[in-house]
Homo-oligomer: A and B are copies of this chain.
Amino acid sequence: MDPADKILLDHGSGGRIAHRLLRDLLLPAFDNPALAELNDGAILEVEGSRLAFSTDSYTVDPIFFPGGDIGDLAVNGTVNDLAMCGARPLALSAAFILEEGFPLEDFRRILGTMARAAREAGVAIVTGDTKVVPRGAADRVFINTSGIGLIPPGVRVASHRARPGDRILLSGSLADHGVSVLAGREGLAFQTTVQSDTAPLHRMVAAMLAAGGEAVHVLRDPTRGGLGTALNEIAESSGVGVLIHEETIPLKPEVAGLCELLGFDPLYLANEGKLVAFVHPEAAEAVLAAVRADPAGRDAAWIGEALAAPAGRVVMQTRIGGRRIVDMLSGEQFPRIC
């Protein structure tokens, strides 16, 4: 490592360079099997129970955006990370870093949103922390939520469990959160009706697992880095190829339009209320029905399948008939999207 090396915005992108940081610095430092699994949360055995444990810090800018704010984002984000482990969320923590001068009214509004999101998700915020730093040492408010969930017996979802032949389900339209935040930041919010999709997904997951059981191999919420990065992570962890079909991917016309306008690829924009699932074909229809029965899953669709080869690669059949490699997010920068 060159001693002049510095943290770049890319290190937080969720993409290729962020993975390199994780593999080169964090995993070797904190070497342990739970962390090395690289799921959305760790799985711990405690006195015969299987617990999921997850953490995320939220630095989204702007803190208020169409369809949500940093508060419900922070609650739903960690609820969903637990859900992607197949867990039922039990409890959340909330830790705030506040900048001196931050309006109490904004803080109160964010706490209200968090409380409402926690109630809607049926999970309690049981412990917390508040730090204040001098003006200029942080930008308004950062929130960390961590969470504990309980994994029911028989549930075995993990990012390495995708198998050739699995069908790939996306629970709804792509890139709504990313576009709403970017539009808010660019002052384009007034031009669009796009809202963040921030929503808790644990009930949808419970229904999927009830319908599909162990046939549900992988669950992942494609947040930072988007669907493209999430599929690459799964392809790599499982050693399978992934083929997706562009024309089957749900995308709202106004999201597609704003992506064109702003020059962004919806495959790499963040989603905060969507999941991607790898499901054995035998359970495919039952799982899809379970997802569609959830209000957040009405637009769910099959978008592709896992293949034996090329292992670790994601390929997209495009609308015009060609094929393109979908790499991890690389080089593009969407700082503070969540």
Measuring CB to CB, which residues of chain A are less than 8 angstroms from any residue of chain B? 1, 3-13, 18, 21-22, 25-26, 29-32, 34-35, 41-42, 44, 46-49, 51, 53-59, 61, 90-91, 93-105, 107-108, 111-112, 114-115, 118, 124-134, 136-139, 142, 144, 146, 148, 150, 335-336
Contact = CB atoms under 8 A, between A and B. Distances in A.
A208 B183 CA distance: 57
Q: Which of A12, A102, A336 has the most CB of B within 10 A?
A: A12
A108 to B, nearest CB: 6
Query: Binding site of A, secondary structure by majority: helix, strand, loop or mixed?
Result: mixed
Given A6-B103, A29-B115, 10 more contacts: A3-B103, A9-B134, A41-B127, A44-B126, A46-B49, A133-B139, A134-B335, A138-B142, A144-B144, A144-B146
A6 B132 CA distance: 11
Given A30-B114, A34-B91, A111-B25, A53 B126 contact: yes
Q: Which of A58, A59, A144 has the most CB of B within 10 A?
A: A144
A129 to B, nearest CB: 5
A13 B131 CA distance: 8
Count of identical protomers in the assembly: 2
Contacts of A21: 130
Nearest to A35: B126
A46 B115 CA distance: 22
A76 to B, nearest CB: 15
A262 to B, nearest CB: 18
A107 B12 CA distance: 14
A57 to B, nearest CB: 4
A127 B35 contact: yes
Contacts of A91: 34, 42, 44, 53
A206 B173 CA distance: 52
B132 A11 contact: yes
A136 B139 CA distance: 8
